Amino acid sequence: MPKPRERAGRNQSIREQIAHVAARLIAVDGLDDFGLAKKKAARQVGTDDPQNLPTNMEIETALKAYRDIYFKDDHSKLLTTLREEAVRVMRQLAQFNPYLVGSVLSGTAGRYSDINIQLFVDSSKDVEIFLLNQAIQFRHLALPNERAEMNVSFYSNDIPISLAVYPRDELRRNSASRADGGGLERARIDQVEKMLEEHAMQSA
């Protein structure tokens, strides 16, 4: 019977294997759901023990490492394009307190990723009326959680945009920083613009 330290080391090794396989599934196959990527990766590795599943942060780390090795230049250009489009859409929605969230913010976005934006408003109906007045063709999606009042998607310059609309009070209630210390949970327009400026300086 393996000792606790040996078992912990083996579990960590399996977690790392799953994280790297999940990263490849996201980067190459276009999976944009970390939970689904974990399950598929675990099956490929040959384990069904939930204790062996890596955290989303571990997958993000593996994904960034994978893309740095295989897709560094292409992914950098893609991420810049997505963030520039996010800024353009957020400016258009400036009156609704837009914040960028998700994979475009974290840097793990791929070719098939949506730009995820959260809005914080007094009335979700105002957002719907605005989209209609702008002749933006959108469709309603299932709510991402019980706090959201509306969730819609549309295309902007052929890039899928997802808008999750929350009551204004949610903006004050939730921190903008990630609980795992991995950076921003959400970012304002000026913060995304700063990210683009810093990236441009690093690439110059």
- What DSSP line would sit under 112-133, residue for residue? TPPEEEEEEES-HHHHHHHHHH
Range of the domain at 57: 4-70
Question: Are 96 and 18 contained in the same domain?
Answer: no
- pLDDT reported for residue 139: 96
Which of 35, 70, 105 lies at the terminal end of a domain, its last residue? 70
- Alpha carbon distance 204, 140 (integer Å): 41
Question: Are 127 and 138 contained in the same domain?
Answer: yes
Phi, psi of 186 (to 5 degrees): -150, 160
Model confidence pLDDT, tens digit, residues 108-128: 888 778 999 999 999 999 999
Q: Given the structure tokens 């969230």, which residue do they identify?
A: 101
H/E run at residue 46: none
Pairing of strands 115-121, 99-101: antiparallel
Digit-by-digit pLDDT tens for the chain (204 residues) are 455 555 555 678 888 899 888 888 887 777 778 888 888 988 888 887 777 888 888 888 888 888 777 777 787 888 999 999 999 999 999 999 999 998 899 888 887 789 999 999 999 999 999 999 999 999 999 999 999 999 999 999 999 999 999 999 988 776 555 444 445 689 999 999 999 998 888 776
Look at residues 113, 120, 135 and name the one whose alpha carbon lies nearest to residue 33: 113
- pLDDT reported for residue 123: 95
Which of 54, 70, 86 lies at the terminal end of a domain, its last residue? 70
Half-sphere CA count of 36, side-chain side, radius 13 A: 7
- pLDDT reported for residue 181: 45
106 contacts 82 by C-beta, under 8 angstroms: no
- pLDDT reported for residue 9: 58
Question: Are 104 and 191 contained in the same domain?
Answer: yes
Which of 47, 70, 93 lies at the terminal end of a domain, its last residue? 70
The tokens describing 34, both together, are 């970390």
Question: Are 139 and 197 contained in the same domain?
Answer: yes
Question: Are 92 and 187 contained in the same domain?
Answer: yes
Give the burial class of 79: count Cβ atoms within 10 A of its Cβ; 0-12 exposed, 13-18 middle, 19 or more buried.
buried
Looking up residue 111, the CATH number of its domain turns out to be 3.30.460.10
Give the burial class of 5: count Cβ atoms within 10 A of its Cβ; 0-12 exposed, 13-18 middle, 19 or more buried.
exposed
The tokens describing 32, both together, are 């944009």
124 contacts 150 by C-beta, under 8 angstroms: yes
